[in-house]
Amino acid sequence: MRGAVISEVFDMNNVVILAGGQGKRMKTNKPKVLLEVLGEPMLEWVISACEDAGMDRVCVVKGFECEQIDEYLSARESKVDIRTALQAERLGTGHAVMQAVDFLKEDTSGNTLILCGDAPFIDAETIRGALEHHEKSSAAVTVVTSEIDEPKGYGRILRTDNGISGIREEKDCSDEERLIKEINSGCYWFRTEALLEALPELKQNNAQGEYYLTDCIEILLSKGEKADAFMSGNEQVALGANDRKGLLALNDIARKMVIDKWLDEGVEFVCTDGVSIGRRVTVGVGTRIDSNVKIRGKSVIGRDCRIGVGCIIEDSVIGDGVDLNYVQAYSAQVDDNAKIGPFVQLRPDSHVKKGAKIGDFVEIKNSTIGEYTAVAHLTYVGDSDVGKNVNFGCGVVTVNFDGEKKYRTTIGDNAFIGCNTNLVSPVNIGDGAYTGAGSTITKDVPAGALALERTEQKIIEGYAEKKLKARTEKFVKAHGDE
Ligand code: UD1
Ligand code: CA
């Protein structure tokens, strides 16, 4: 009806992430959820899945070394409201959720998602799909499950015609139940009100003397509620790690997942040994990535590049048609068709412009290298603004630090810096200026001029005779008269 006031009420989706574990077998003093998979803490994977799924509010239940969790969360730029609850004693998954009761009571209108902070491969599609299923079936609880070949260690799903009758932990399974391959991923959707009703009824009457969150299912069924299961299409949804081997296995899975994605996008890999590409990295079509390449953080790689063996690229933006060979780049920018390497380090805030060529054993720091400029060998360029089509001879050094302060060097377009020039900054080299090889330049050089700073060469005839005789005798003594 036209003109009618339509008021829609949106239910709030709460998320509780269980992150109290220590992971004793990891032999670390970090909370287990902060151990990394593909360069990101496992907790980061889980929280970002919640963000991608459009969740409203998140409570992380922390325990072991909880300050580290606080530190991590406060450094994070979160799109979702995140807070924490402390589980001082580790008394089981049900007990962990109990610590979030105050958080849950703040908004009981909708549903609550429970996730394990140490199962990094949960995905937004599973979260949304399970919620849809949960709402459609009017269940009080919906367990996210997956079917796996080796279900050992996981809780088994007991299906009925109309949902599920419970979850049986490995330790409590009969021989027959142990054969069930559908397992509890540790991820659940609860109607928030139903969860709050069930939690106070959890008991520690089991083999491990813990409050099992899984017991909520039977409690809710006994109240006449419905319990259901949603099988995720993501086979990795339940995977976690209990020890270092397990963590390495997760890294291998994640590594392959990302490489497979880029293969589908037209990126070329010849051999993926030692290749690891972070989840947030993007790579353009036609780019070839050789073995032992690590690309991390928020790096962006353009099209038709060659990222040669041994490159490490972190938080850097690489244009199209760039050729990198044994380059380490950290927070740097490289524009189209630049050619860099081998054995080059681009340190933070370096910008190598279009078509520039940086050769072997060169370090660039906090500097701009202009278009088509060549810095071919054994050179350090720090805190400098270099114009276009400049040529650096071998062994040039910008002397940018006097032990206290750093100073800038500027070099104009088309300048020619002779081999082994020291540019003692602050110093300006004008457009098209030259510096003679071996000069230590301490004063500005005007455009078009040549600056030469070295003593004139002297010749002392016959100087070597006496010295050479002594040296020859020593040589004959050591190596014979050959
Ligand atoms: C749990 C499930 C099991 C499921 C499996 C999936 C129970 C009783 N069983 O088993 O059905 O197949 O997860 O991985 O829930 N945690 C806390 N505080 C605690 C206990 C656990 O924060 O007191 C956290 C852990 O750090 C972990 C998560 O909860 O992130 C799961 O705990 P875990 O001990 O691994 O549960 P499982 O026994 O493996
Ligand atoms: Ca587990």
Write down all domains in the chain, each with its CATH number in brackets: 2-231 (3.90.550.10), 244-451 (2.160.10.10)
Q: Please, what is the Cα angle at 49 between 195 and 278, to 5 degrees?
A: 150
CA-to-CA distance for 293 and 305, rounded, in angstroms?
13
CA-to-CA distance for 311 and 325, rounded, in angstroms?
6
What is the pLDDT, as a whole number, of residue 9? Answer: 59
DSSP assignments along 394-411, one per residue? TT-EEE-B-SS-B--EEE
> Mean pLDDT for each consecutive 10-residue tract of the chain (482 residues)?
49 94 89 96 98 96 96 96 96 97 96 98 98 97 96 96 94 94 98 98 89 96 98 96 95 98 98 97 98 98 98 98 98 98 98 98 98 98 98 98 96 98 98 98 98 95 90 94 76
What is the pLDDT, as a whole number, of residue 208? Answer: 82
Contacts of 161 (CB under 8 A, 6+ apart): none
Indicate whether residue 118 lines ligand 1 (CB < 6 A). yes
Indicate whether residue 16 lines ligand 1 (CB < 6 A). no
Coil, helix or strand at residue 30: coil
**Tell me, what DSSP letter sits at residue 76?**
S
Query: What are the residues facing 86 on neighbouring strands?
Result: 62
**Tell me, what DSSP letter sits at residue 35?**
S
**Tell me, what DSSP letter sits at residue 304?**
S
**Residue 238 Cα to ligand 2 middle (Å):** 9
Q: Of 409, 454, 469, 455, which Cα lies nearest the Cα of 433?
A: 409
Atom of ligand 1 nearest to the CA of 185: 6
**Residue 20 Cα to ligand 1 middle (Å):** 10
Record the tokens describing residue 424, joined without a space. Answer: 């003692």
Out of 95, 351, 377, 479, the active site residue is 377
What is the pLDDT, as a whole number, of residue 21? Answer: 83
**Tell me, what DSSP letter sits at residue 281?**
-
Q: Of 300, 302, 352, 361, which Cα lies nearest the Cα of 326?
A: 361
Q: Which ligand is nearest to the CA of 154?
A: 1
Determine contact, residues 387/429, Cβ cutoff 8 Å.
Answer: no
Record the tokens describing residue 58, joined without a space. Answer: 């998140």
Indicate whether residue 99 lines ligand 1 (CB < 6 A). no
User: Amino acid identity of 355?
Assistant: G
Indicate whether residue 117 lines ligand 1 (CB < 6 A). yes
What is the pLDDT, as a whole number, of residue 4? Answer: 44
Decide if 95 is catalytic: no
How many Cα atoms occupy the beta-carbon half-sphere of 247 within 13 Å?
Answer: 20
**Residue 117 Cα to ligand 1 middle (Å):** 10
CA-to-CA distance for 402 and 410, rounded, in angstroms?
17
H or E, element range at 340 = strand 339-340
